[in-house]
Structure 1
């Protein structure tokens, strides 16, 4: 008698920071020959899902095209400026206003409902931002696992002064970029962040959105939302971090800290067509790797500042800069670029680059994936925080002695950048501390531990 299949359905928004850890996990299950794997996300990520098939199939389930209102990559320049402004609260508020769209969430919910009716999953694995998928899993009584590519406290700390919280009173609010412990002034700022977050839902414009959300939920038969529902009802929470990268607090048993989700390396072989990048890295002694994620939009002045940084450090360090092709028109004429600067619009594998022993520092925007991956490979960081969670990662990295943060991230002042890079590269304590926490991440098991945890759940027994 054959063993009944127990489908596993992964669900994620198309943003790389949310999607990539789940792709790695799906790839690991495929490698093990686990049957009946499905992955639901937006249509443009079909090829990324199909590339994960190394053993058993991973079937792609389309949730339609990307809604530009929900995708930071496609936001207008005006919205981009709002969500990356220097005021942490105003930037946080802008993100909430931009992404809280009940009508679009309802569309994704209905599309996913069709997928669930077809697949009849025994288990869903959901990125922590896909609230529509959590709603559907709860309504249908489908066991689900929550995927968190951020710090452990990100999904456990309440943004509401009256809401239940899994962290101690006075713990820094997510997106505030505040340290712990705090000064008296910082404590006031932290409390105000919560009160202002609560207050913005009393604004008339937000009141209309709340009314629309209530109507949508009534139509779909969903209960009122609760910020801690996803945490309370999840079978387990897979967090791509380790306790040592966050401020101390009692982590609940159901939260499994597995470290960064890294696929088997190297990702690229000798015939990967990397245009000699690996040979170039092998020939260097000290390389600064600059990569600011898929969302960052640099200005001409900022690009010019980074070219000047490379020029000032010529003769001491080489620079590898992953700069998207659509931003390369901002560069000065190629003949005027310093000889120690190599610019690539794309690298076959950022993980292979970070794993290379000649990378001395990772200059990054500090997003959840990049922050954890850099430390996973023992690389100290210089952080130019972009928005929301980037500030939270940056302040913890600074306090842990594994990174420094630019004083004026928006300005990208060459004096500031050169100072931070020189200090991190010149002080061995940064690398030693990063190597220590990187070893802890690798010991946590990443994709292999996560896969073992999934396959051990009662839903798949």
Structure 2
């Protein structure tokens, strides 16, 4: 055991387990994997991680000076997992109308029966490990319910902008942001003009009206029945914030609109593991050596949820073709979507396509990458800026629009005019403007430095271990 690990174990190490809980989606899970991995490197004992069975290997790989015990919550419920939603549901939740997309997400993911089953499975884990503290991703409401019911102190993990969890979706709900602050998922700026304020108000009212629909009434009745059966507290949107010991948010003040932040919200910046994640010798793709040989690279990566159509794939190939001679393009395109590509002999010579990368973070950290073309999800948005890369954003859904509008307003990104169409003229225009105007990179590098100064995983680990529940 090294000297740092000995200090961690001997001074302030918890005497009962820390239990991490997350849904299996990468955007929610990855920051908690990084944090648990940091504690394992410090030799903190009794680390447990509860998530769905397919992420077992990711959790077990965290073992270092101490191990991380995997606690299975069973197989993934397809109804709750965006990566397994049907194409019809995918189209509904990613449609251009932001309120209708927001409504579709609520209808699809508000499943009291499945939440109750996850609650029961997690209860069995808690009975087994008796945690002193739970660290919970902010979407896992079943885990917050369990922590409240059992009286277990908990920390909330937020991979989004802080206002995402501090702003009420209801016009009458309590909120930590001003009354006229943009509601999450609206993609509205701040401050707003008259029409935008009206749209913001209507977004909240329409969200409230959803729950007076007869069909939703049945779901609410089922939720009430199950909550009574399980002895759960009455749900309240801000309970997870009010009752948390601490809220760890993977952002910084400079990436959100200004408002008074609660003291328990700790802004630690992006949760990035030690780099490089992959050695050159282990890089079977040869991507890092390829990057070394280039002068300017556009990196395109649209996360694990995006499903491109054949016309959209063709449009992105055309984008690369138009950039040929000025920029190389690295595109992470999942293997299951590569059948949509034209024949190999019709691809431009400056385009490199990979179905898998040893580390997206290693790519973003590379000095030859000049811009990140992204869907604007919470992790990708913050990670790109962490490494000082300006962005071009094709918002996919919900929070992506909120990140996109802030990136635009803070001068670190541009957003496509017609995200669904992926018009090559629009994409090339936005990429070229961001690459040619050095102010985008200067601002991204400035905010990236602020993120790195916030401390990420090391600050988060220090804050966690200093909580009364662990001392």
TM over 0.5: yes
1:375 to 374, 381, 385: 385
Q: Which of structure 1's runs of 4+ aligned residues deviate more than 2 A?
A: 2-5
2:417 to 393, 404, 407: 407
Seen in structure 2, the aligned counterparts of structure 1 residues 5 and 185 have a Cα distance that, compared at 3 Å, is: same
1:329 aligns with 2:339: yes
Kindly state the Cα deviation for residue 55 of structure 1 after the two structures are TM-superposed: 1.7
Kindly indicate whether the alpha-carbon contact (under 8 Å) linking 1:12 and 1:41 is maintained by their aligned counterparts in 2: yes
**Aligned counterpart, 1:239:** 249
Q: Secondary structure at the match of 2:462?
A: helix
Alpha-carbon distance between aligned partners in 2 of 1:4 and 1:446, rounded to the nearest angstrom: 21
Alpha-carbon distance between aligned partners in 1 of 2:38 and 2:447, rounded to the nearest angstrom: 24
Deviation per residue, 1:296-343 (Å, 9 max, x gap): 000000000000000011000000000000000000000010000000
Extract unaligned runs of 5+ from structure 2. 1-9
**Aligned counterpart, 1:209:** 219
Kindly state the Cα deviation for residue 4 of structure 1 after the two structures are TM-superposed: 7.4
Kindly indicate whether the alpha-carbon contact (under 8 Å) linking 1:351 and 1:373 is maintained by their aligned counterparts in 2: yes
Deviation per residue, 1:27-83 (Å, 9 max, x gap): 000000000000000000000111111220100000000000000000000000000
Number of aligned positions between the proteins: 460
**Aligned counterpart, 1:229:** 239
Kindly state the Cα deviation for residue 225 of structure 1 after the two structures are TM-superposed: 0.1
Kindly indicate whether the alpha-carbon contact (under 8 Å) linking 1:274 and 1:347 is maintained by their aligned counterparts in 2: no
Q: Secondary structure at the match of 2:361?
A: helix
Matches within 5 A, 1:306-325: 306-325=316-335
**Aligned counterpart, 1:293:** 303
Kindly indicate whether the alpha-carbon contact (under 8 Å) linking 2:14 and 2:470 is maintained by their aligned counterparts in 1: no
**Aligned counterpart, 1:57:** 67
Deviation per residue, 1:367-414 (Å, 9 max, x gap): 000000000000000000000000000000000000000000000000
Seen in structure 2, the aligned counterparts of structure 1 residues 398 and 4 have a Cα distance that, compared at 3 Å, is: closer
Deviation per residue, 1:157-183 (Å, 9 max, x gap): 000100000001100000000000001
Name the Cα RMSD after superposition.
Answer: 0.8
Query: So what's the TM-score if we normalise by structure 1?
Result: 0.99
Query: So what's the TM-score if we normalise by structure 2?
Result: 0.97
1:9 aligns with 2:19: yes
Extract unaligned runs of 5+ from structure 1. none
Alpha-carbon distance between aligned partners in 2 of 1:304 and 1:293, rounded to the nearest angstrom: 18
Alpha-carbon distance between aligned partners in 1 of 2:134 and 2:285, rounded to the nearest angstrom: 40
Kindly indicate whether the alpha-carbon contact (under 8 Å) linking 2:298 and 2:328 is maintained by their aligned counterparts in 1: yes
Kindly state the Cα deviation for residue 270 of structure 1 after the two structures are TM-superposed: 2.2
**Aligned counterpart, 2:4:** none
1:264 aligns with 2:274: yes
Kindly indicate whether the alpha-carbon contact (under 8 Å) linking 2:14 and 2:45 is maintained by their aligned counterparts in 1: no
